[in-house]
């Protein structure tokens, strides 16, 4: 119900902004392929980062019963992987086209989502740890680009 109301509100906003002579957000900008593509990539990254930095720690604390300290310790390797990827990605950013590290990051985030697809209350820590690690790596590749 709430998603339906949100969708109707978003469509109403877009219809209003399309007709307005001085819109707050000009919806015509989405007709430019470069901007629309960058927006789509940012939307996917935002959703993946939300899932791995908010939902995954919440899952291990509330569903699997970890303490906040234990949840932080088991998810810490994802952050360390991110720290290790940053300098490598920074060096590669000057040598390869911009779309390549972004595509690599998206693929690693897709792998993360695939690894986390069946996580439930009785899931051992392996699948969600590997999904977290993949997300940590996926987040690092596009940042210097």
SS3 string, 79-98, reads HHHHHHHHHHHHHHHCCCCC
- Does this model's pTM top 0.75? My answer is no
Average pLDDT over residues 96-105: 88
Do the Cβ atoms of 42 and 105 come closer than 8 Å? no
Contacts of 52 (CB under 8 A, 6+ apart): 78, 112, 131, 132, 135, 136, 139
Grade residue 52 by pLDDT with cuts at 50, 70 and 90.
confident
Q: pLDDT > 70: what percent of the chain?
A: 99
Give the per-residue pLDDT at 144.
Answer: 67
Residue 145 has pLDDT above 60, yes or no: no
Contacts of 109 (CB under 8 A, 6+ apart): 44, 45, 48, 134, 135, 138, 139
Residue 136 has pLDDT above 70, yes or no: yes
Dihedral class, residue 20 (left if φ above 0, else alpha if ψ from -120 to 50, else beta): beta
Give the per-residue pLDDT at 82.
Answer: 86
Q: Radius of gyration over alpha carbons of the chain, in Å?
A: 19
Q: How is residue 29 annotated by DSSP?
A: G
Please indicate whether residue 22 or residue 52 has the higher confidence score (pLDDT): 22
**In the predicted model, what is the mean pLDDT of the chain?**
86
Give the per-residue pLDDT at 41.
Answer: 84
Per-residue pLDDT of 102-133, as tens digits, reads 888 888 888 888 888 888 888 887 777 788 88
Closest CA to 134 of 100, 106, 108: 108
Average pLDDT over residues 44-50: 82
In the three-class reduction of DSSP (H, G, I as helix; E, B as strand; rest coil), residue 20 is classed as: coil
């Amino acid at each position: 119900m709430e998603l339906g109301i949100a969708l109707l509100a978003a469509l109403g906003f877009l219809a209003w902004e399309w007709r307005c002579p001085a819109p707050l957000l000009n919806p015509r900008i989405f007709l430019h392929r470069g901007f629309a593509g960058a927006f789509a990539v940012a939307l996917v990254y935002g959703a993946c980062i939300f899932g791995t930095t908010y939902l995954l720690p919440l899952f291990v604390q509330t569903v699997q019963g970890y303490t906040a300290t234990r949840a932080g310790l088991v998810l810490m390797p994802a952050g360390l992987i991110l720290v290790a990827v940053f300098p490598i990605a920074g060096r590669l950013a000057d040598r390869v086209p911009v779309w390549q590290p972004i595509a690599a990051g998206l693929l690693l985030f897709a792998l993360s989502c695939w690894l986390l697809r069946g996580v439930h209350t009785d899931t051992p820590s392996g699948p969600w740890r590997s999904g977290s690690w993949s997300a940590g790596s996926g987040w690092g590749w596009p940042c210097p680009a």
